[in-house]
Amino acid sequence: MTNSHIFQQASPWRSIWLLIFNKQLLISDTVSHTMAVKLESKEALKSFNEGTYLSPSWEIEAIAQASQAINKLSKTLWSSFFKILFVALIAIVIAFLFGLLAPNLPIAWSKVISALGGFLAGWATLFALGTPIETYSGKTLPELMHPRIFTALFIPGLLLSFLGQIW
């Protein structure tokens, strides 16, 4: 009887939510995902079932590696957010200085939507330029999450930008 079924590959889309709302659960899912990927190999699965695959400290090592990878991904996500926020604030200040924005002017919703779209697309682009975690297999959870985070930010950003332009 095998116990390898206790390890399951995680959904990268669900993991994005966990990155924002529950990092501890994401780390646990990452450990499980990593083991599930490793046990896809017939040799590793056979060794696992015989009880010789894992070292006594495998879980501590796996949690440490998962924490490091998730923290790197999170740091890249939020540092790119704050960089784009800084650029957006500079643009707002410049617009105020040139009289393009003022408290007495009506709100141009098409421009607000377009600016929000540019913000999201810029955030996604800076995030994508951040160093993703790369492994030999290319199947770790942070590796799978990276392009999906880009997509989740960039596509709505483009949609809002286009919508704001044609409004």
CA–CA dist 84, 24 (Å, integer)? 27
pLDDT band at 3 (very low <50, low <70, confident <90, very high): low
Q: How far is CA 32 from CA 26, 62, 91, 98, in A?
A: 10, 9, 44, 55
CB 98 within 8 A of CB 129: no
Q: How many other C-beta atoms can be found within 10 angstroms of the C-beta atom of residue 31?
A: 22
Asked if residue 3 is part of any domain, the answer here is no
Asked if residue 2 is part of any domain, the answer here is no
Q: What's the domain count of the chain?
A: 1
Q: Which residue has the higher pLDDT, 45 or 161?
A: 161
Per-residue pLDDT, 2: 43
Query: Which whole number is the average pLDDT over 104-126?
Result: 96
Q: Which residue has the higher pLDDT, 139 or 77?
A: 77
Query: Which whole number is the average pLDDT over 50-71?
Result: 87
Q: Which domain holds residue 55?
A: 11-166
Asked if residue 112 is part of any domain, the answer here is yes
> Does pLDDT of 114 surpass 70?
yes
CA–CA dist 39, 47 (Å, integer)? 9
CA–CA dist 37, 104 (Å, integer)? 59
Residue closest to 151 by CA, chosen among 117, 125, 131: 125
> Does pLDDT of 1 surpass 60?
no
Query: Which whole number is the average pLDDT over 124-141?
Result: 83
Specify the DSSP class assigned to residue 4.
G
Among 38-52, 122-136, 142-156, which stretch is predicted with the lowest mean pLDDT? 38-52
Asked if residue 1 is part of any domain, the answer here is no
Asked if residue 5 is part of any domain, the answer here is no
